[in-house]
Each structure stands twice: as C-alpha cells, then as structure tokens.
Structure 1
Amino acid sequence: MTNWIENVTGSFGEKKQYKQNKARIDTLPEPYSTTAKALLRYFTYSSGITDGATLVQMVGDLADLWERAAVDGTPVREIVGENPVEFAEAFVEAYTGKQWIDKERARLTKAIDDAEREQS
C-alpha cells in the first residue's frame, strides 16, 4: 500500500530527510539562519527542481554550508559575495535533477517534430 501512496506524494524517506535538513537550518544562529532561509526560499521559487532526491541533497548541502560558516564565524557576505542572486543561481546549478520545465521542453520538441511530419 505504501508504494502507491509514495508514487503520488513522493518518498516518505525523502520527506523525512528534507524536514531534518530544514530543521538544521531553522536552528542555525543568526545571521546564518536568516540567510539560509532566504536562500532556501529563493531556491524553491527559482530552481524548478522536481526530483526529491536532488532537492534533499541541495538542502542538506545548504545546511552543511551554513553550519560550517557558523562554527567558523565566517561573515555571510564572505560566502555569498556582493550579489546574493548570482551566488544562489551558481549554487543551484550544481544540482541538475529533473526540473518542471523538462516536461514542457519535451512537449515543445514533440509538437515541432509532429508539425514537421505533417508538413512533409
């Protein structure tokens, strides 16, 4: 019974790991917690990642990064630089899982291929 539920909702193990990683971010000292949460929010809206394993890995790595920065006392700007958007987008590029746009890219390609065949 679990298999069909996980097919619909996603892996329970991935959800559990995601929540654990999110909790790690929530417990970071300031300003690391605020920074990590802001980045996570940006990733949620901009990354387009739909593969659960990839998302879990990315959030875990984000938590690792800010936990290490907090332990070392590294200034936030030293990590994100002058352009936080550039940093965030470079960070996400390292995670090449399935994205929501992949389905639409395939659909567009198929539509053009079908149109071409009809024209011939």
Structure 2
Amino acid sequence: MLIEKIVGDFGDKRRWRQYKARVKGLPGPYRASAEALERYLIYFGALSDGSTMMTMLEDLADLFERASVDGTSIRSVVGDDPVEFAETFLRNYSDGQWISRERQRLIKAIDAAEEDDDGGEGS
C-alpha cells in the first residue's frame, strides 16, 4: 500500500505505542531497566525489520511485567552482566538484523565467485 510506504507500517506503529504504554505502566526500577535495555537493543541490535523489533520489545515487556508481578529482582532477570544478558536476548531475534542479510549476501557472493572460478585451481 502506497501510504504505508510513505509513513511506515501502521501495525508496527500501533504495536510500538502499545509497547511503550506497557513499559510506562511498570514500577519505576522495572521501567528504568526495560527502557535501558530497549535503548541498548535498538542501537546494538540494528534490527532492520520492524516486525522483528516489535516482537523482541514485546517479549522484553512480557519479561519485565512477569518479573514485576512475581517480585523477581531485576538482577535475577538480567544477571550480573546486563550487556551479556542484552546480547544473549538479542540473539533470539538475529534474523531481523541487517547484518544477517549482509552475511547471506557475502555467502552468496563467495559461492558465485567459486562457481565462476570453474574449478581452475591450477590455471
């Protein structure tokens, strides 16, 4: 649809607003932690697929909502190294990262170069 190409996917925008409302509803320390992780995941993750990004963020909100309700401490959720937690969490969504497409592009280019070589190793 032309309008979605101009302003973006309406479904993802709706999901974004719903996600932000969920995070805003978290108790202070859980909200601050979720927002800090969101920032890191968005910058570090470089997700190019909006739907994958929203799924990841919704899962993050689920995690912190459950932790809040259960009274689970933030450190029990993220562990001693929040960076390691974030990067491990992100690996579950790697298909949406731009680097995944670049990895596939590299593999295809090398495969094509190998085919063009015609096996003439001694030429």
**TM-score, normalized by the shorter chain, greater than 0.5:** yes
| CA distance in 2: counterparts of 1:51 and 1:32, whole angstroms | 26
The DSSP-based 3-state class of the residue aligned with 1:97 is helix
1:69 aligns with: 67
2:57 aligns with: 59
List runs of 5+ in structure 2 lacking aligned partners: 119-123
Deviation, 1:98, is: 2.7
Deviation, 1:30, is: 1.7
Q: After superposition, where does 1:1-120 map in structure 2 within 5 Å? A: 3-105=1-103, 108=106
Tell me the matched-pair count: 118
The DSSP-based 3-state class of the residue aligned with 1:40 is helix
Moved more, 50-59 or 31-40: 50-59
- Say which one has the larger Rg: 2
| CA distance in 2: counterparts of 1:98 and 1:55, whole angstroms | 7
Q: TM-score, normalised by structure 2?
A: 0.80
Judged with a 3 Å threshold, the aligned counterparts in structure 2 of structure 1 residues 112 and 94 are, in CA distance, closer, same or farther, namely: closer
Deviation, 1:23, is: 1.5
Deviation, 1:96, is: 3.0
Judged with a 3 Å threshold, the aligned counterparts in structure 2 of structure 1 residues 96 and 109 are, in CA distance, closer, same or farther, namely: closer
| CA distance in 1: counterparts of 2:61 and 2:17, whole angstroms | 12
* Conserved 8 A contact 2:53-2:96: no
